[in-house]
Amino acid sequence: MRNTRSHNIEWLINEFIDRYFAMKKHSPRNKAEYDRALRKYCIPAWGNRPYGDITTDDIIALTHAVAENTPVMGNRLHAYLSKMFRWARSTPMRDGKGRYLQRSPVSDAIRPADEISRDRVLSDGEIRDIWFACDRLDNAYGPMVQMAILTGQRRNELAGMVPAELDIKKIVWSIPPERNKAKRTHNIPLSRMALRSLEPRMASGTKFIFENETGKMMSGWNRMKRRLDKACGAKNADGDLLWSEGWTLHDTRRTIATKMRELGVDSEVVEALLNHKSNTATGDVQRIYDRYENFDEKREALELWAGKLTSILGLEPAENVVPLPTRAG
């Protein structure tokens, strides 16, 4: 009788998909993603080779080749292979005669790429696509993402925004210490474009500015992100959704920082706007924040970014919709 371990990689994928996803609670989408990626990349690469002959070098060669074109997909494939081979190492075969494998070839294979989201800066075209896809969503997640693009603030800070934090006379959003990562009151002067976006939501009388369908603070991030990805709809040459794996909401912060610097905004002003937490003993970031706590530079920077964003989106700038507060003389 043929040694089970002499079966090819397609046989192991079939076993893994059939047995692993039957034992654990996974969404059909998650199962389909594993199935599609493993078949798409592994079968052409390894063909009829016995799965027991797959080595760490094979794993590295394949995942790095995929990562050269799509770094996130290279990392994702590495994770899928790691899961499958760990399962094979720890799971008895159907006949009960030992496990599928004694050792995983992925154990010593490092991920092929740094997390792309840590370096990801959205292009003007991507910003445009995301913005208008937000308009097509039927819940508050779309406006919340647009506010992230306008202000560069963190997801949880945006989700927890309440009317009491907004000062319409001063056109400022104040995030209290208990609601932001730096643990200090963070004041964001709102651009006129941001205020126009907020006004109808402020008038709705809801507890949270961006609350979900049940009247609670926005949550279910992965589900909401998938809906936005689908609304974006752009695909690469392989037919994969670019938006399903190429960006995260946190990338908007990096994008705004990059765009502002390109517009000539001082880096210290950018750091203060993003409310970066100091991890140094000298407290350099805190001193930067203190220096730029006056709103003039921060407001000018956000208005400059809003003007650039208006241009990226191909929108006509609104004239004198909201007058800026006058500076104290």
Please, what is the average pLDDT of the chain?
Answer: 83
Residues 111-156 pLDDT 10s: 886 644 457 788 888 899 899 999 999 899 999 999 999 999 999 9
Lowest mean pLDDT among 97-106, 141-150, 236-245, 263-272: 236-245
Q: Determine the average pLDDT of the residues in 43-58.
A: 94
Note the pLDDT of residue 234: 57
Exposure of 171 by Cβ count < 10 A (0-12 exposed, 13-18 middle, 19+ buried)? Answer: buried
Q: Is the entire prediction scored with pTM above 0.75? A: no
Note the pLDDT of residue 248: 83
Note the pLDDT of residue 83: 92
Note the pLDDT of residue 1: 34
Q: Scanning the structure block, which residue is given the tokens 């990096």? A: 254
Q: Determine the average pLDDT of the residues in 206-213.
A: 90
Extents of the domains making up the chain = 4-104, 124-313
Residue 321 has pLDDT above 50, yes or no: no
Sign of CA dihedral 242, 246, 249, 255: negative
Residues 265-319 pLDDT 10s: 998 899 999 987 644 434 554 554 454 466 789 999 999 999 999 999 998 764 4
Lowest mean pLDDT among 70-74, 104-108, 137-141: 70-74
CATH 1.10.443.10, domain 124-313, yes or no: yes
Label residue 246 by pLDDT band (50, 70, 90).
Answer: low
Note the pLDDT of residue 183: 85
Q: What distance in Å separates the CA atoms of residue 219 and residue 226, rounded to the nearest whole number?
A: 13
Q: Determine the average pLDDT of the residues in 5-25.
A: 88
% of the chain exceeding 90 in pLDDT: 50
Joined together, the tokens standing for residue 276 give 């970066």
CATH 1.10.150.130, domain 4-104, yes or no: yes
